[in-house]
Structure 1
Amino acid sequence: MIVRPRQSRAFSGEIRSNRPVEEVFPLFCPVREREWVPGWDPLLVWTNSGAIEPDCVFTTQDPAGHAVWYVVQASADQGVLELLKTVADHMATRILIRVFPAPEGSLIQLNYRYTSLSPRGASALENLTESYWAQFMQRWQKAMERYFSQQRRTA
C-alpha cells in the first residue's frame, strides 16, 4: 500500500439570483445544465427519475480526460446537492451546492475541494488560484443570468 499526503485546494463562493429556489435548484442537474451552461454535454446519465437524484451517475469529457460524476446527495426540499467528480489519474473533486431563499430571490453557495490523484493532478492544482475561482464564479453568474433573461423573453 502507498500512502501519500493529500494535495488539495478548496474554494467557496456565493451567487445571487433574482429567481426563487424552486426555479434555481432544478437547474443543477446533468440534463438541465445543458439549458444554461455553455458547452455542457454529458455523455451518459444513469438516473431512475430522469433528473438529479441521489446515486445518479453521469459522465463528461473533461479537458483532463473522461470524468465520472456521482451524486452523493440531492434534496430539492433542503436545497442541497453534493457530487463527487473523478478524472482517473488526475483529480477528484467534491462539490457541495446549497441554494437558500434570499430577499428578492436565492443565494447559491458553491463549495469545491479539488484533490490531486497524480503528479499531473498536482501540477493542475497549481493553476487553481483565487483568480481562477473568481472567473469560474463569474461564468456561473453570467450563465445563470443569461438563462433567466432568455426565459423572461420567451414567456
Structure 2
Amino acid sequence: MFQAIHQHLGGEFTLPLDIDTAYPLFTPAGETLWVPDWQPQYFHPADGHTVQGMVFSTGHGGETTLWTLADYQPAAYSYRYVRVTPGSRFVQVQVSCQPVDANTRVQVSYTLTGLSEAGNAAIRDFAAGYHAMLAEWRSLILAWRDSASQAS
C-alpha cells in the first residue's frame, strides 16, 4: 500500500541587493531573469502580472507542474505558492524577504507531499539537493546582477 512522504525543508541566504531589487526576483516573471529554462505559461492573468490567485504552469524534465500564488503579501515581502505535478507530488513554496542593512535575507521553505512512489522518489532527490539548490539560486541571481550591471 502506498505511503506518501510528507517533508518540510527550509533554508536561507543573503543577497547583496536591496529589498526592492531582490523581492521581485521571486515572482514568476522575475524568475525568468535568472532561472535557466524557466518559461511559465500563464493562464490567469494571461499577461503574467503578479497577483494573488494567479495560475500558471511550468515544464521540466518531461513533467508539467501547475502553480497558483496562494498568498501574496508585498508589504511583508512574502509569497506562498502552491503547486502540483499531477500523479507525482504536491508542494507549497514559501519565499520571504527581509531587509538587512543594504542586503536582503531570503528565507525559502518547501513542504512536499508525494502522490505516488515516483513522487516520493522525486521528493527524496529534491531533499538531498535542497541546500545546494539554494546556493545555486544565490549564484544565479548574482550572475544575473553582474550581467545586468555590465549591460547598463
TM-score in terms of structure 2 length: 0.90
Go from structure 1 to structure 2 and tell me whether the alpha carbon gap of 1:105 and 1:50 turns closer, same or farther (over 3 Å shift).
Answer: same
Runs of 4+ in 1 over 6 A off after TM superposition: none
Match of 2:93 in 1: 95
One-letter identity of the residue aligned with 2:118: R
Which structure shows the bigger proportion of residues in helix conformation? 2
Deviations 1:100-147 (A, max 9, x none): 0012311000001111011211222232334x0122112101111111
Aligned to 2:151: 154
- Cα contact 1:95–1:113 (8 A) shared by 2: yes
Aligned AA (1:143): L
Q: Given the superposition, is the C-alpha separation of residues 50 and 59 from structure 1 closer, same or farther in structure 2, using an over 3 Å criterion?
A: closer
Give structure 1 stretches of 5+ with no counterpart: none
| Alpha-carbon displacement from aligned partner over 1:64-116 (angstroms, at most 9, x marks no partner) | 52110010111221100000110111001100000000123110000011110
Q: 2:118 matched to which residue of 1?
A: 120
Contact 1:80 1:98 in 2 (8 A): yes
List runs of 5+ in structure 2 lacking aligned partners: none
Number of equivalent positions: 151
Q: Is the 8 A contact 1:44 1:60 kept in 2?
A: no
TM-score between both structures, scaled by the size of structure 1: 0.88
- In structure 2, how many angstroms separate the alpha carbons of the residues matched to 1:62 and 1:86? 13
Q: Does the CA-based 8 Å contact 1:74-1:81 persist in structure 2?
A: yes
Supply the distance in 2 between the matched residues of 1:14 and 1:32 (Cα, whole angstroms): 19
CA distance in 2 between counterparts of 1:129 and 1:110 reads 13
Partner SS, residue 53 of structure 1: coil
Structure 2: distance between partners of 1:143 and 1:128:
18
